[in-house]
């Protein structure tokens, strides 16, 4: 009887903790939405960090965190979050683009060129090819810049 009571108590405690965690994540999501509605990116980022901590390393909210940092022009933080996301899923074109722009904005042109080169292959977007050419030109890699311009001219203009 004592073991049955102990087992039942353990199960009820586990269910209670699980319900509290679910409620807590929901509160963090509400806080994040409210902060974004009011334009308070720092509170939104804090809420997203709590959500990521509760959901684990595969949380989809890392993308949202990258967008918040990018829109706030916090390029070093954006780059770090994008790198983490791309290490798990390298197919996210928007994240790769934010990473490339962040690197370019930070002045790390050699790494930005690598990111834009990957992006051109994935997107087939002439704008990305022209950006790559511009970076190569700034790095005084004229042959690579000319090749990137030729690639850009071969791609259809997507507007």
3-state secondary structure of 52: helix
Encode pLDDT of 115-143 as tens digits: 999 999 999 899 999 999 999 999 999 99
d(CA 126, CA 153): 7
d(CA 156, CA 61): 33
Q: Work out the pLDDT band at 16, boundaries 50, 70, 90.
A: very low
| Number of residues assigned to the chain | 159
Confidence (pLDDT) at 2: 58
Encode pLDDT of 26-68 as tens digits: 898 898 898 889 999 999 999 999 999 998 888 889 999 999 9
Q: Are 115 and 99 in contact (CB under 8 A)?
A: yes
Chain-wide mean pLDDT for the chain? 86
Neighbouring CB atoms inside 10 A of 149's CB total: 18
Confidence (pLDDT) at 15: 43
d(CA 77, CA 93): 18
């Amino acid at each position: 009887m004592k073991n049955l009571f102990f087992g039942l108590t353990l199960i009820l405690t586990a269910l209670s903790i699980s319900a509290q965690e679910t409620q807590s994540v929901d509160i963090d999501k509400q806080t994040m939405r409210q902060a974004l509605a009011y334009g308070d990116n720092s509170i939104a980022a804090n809420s997203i960090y709590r959500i990521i901590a509760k959901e684990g390393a595969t949380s989809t909210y890392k993308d949202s965190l990258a967008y918040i940092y990018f829109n706030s022009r916090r390029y070093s933080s954006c780059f770090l979050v994008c790198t983490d996301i791309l290490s798990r899923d390298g197919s996210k074109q928007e994240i790769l683009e934010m990473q490339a722009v962040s690197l370019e904005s930070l002045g790390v042109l050699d790494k930005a060129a690598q990111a834009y080169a990957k992006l051109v292959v994935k997107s087939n977007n002439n704008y990305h090819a022209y950006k790559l050419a511009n970076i190569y030109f700034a790095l005084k890699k004229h042959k690579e810049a000319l090749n990137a311009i030729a690639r850009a001219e071969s791609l259809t203009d997507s507007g």
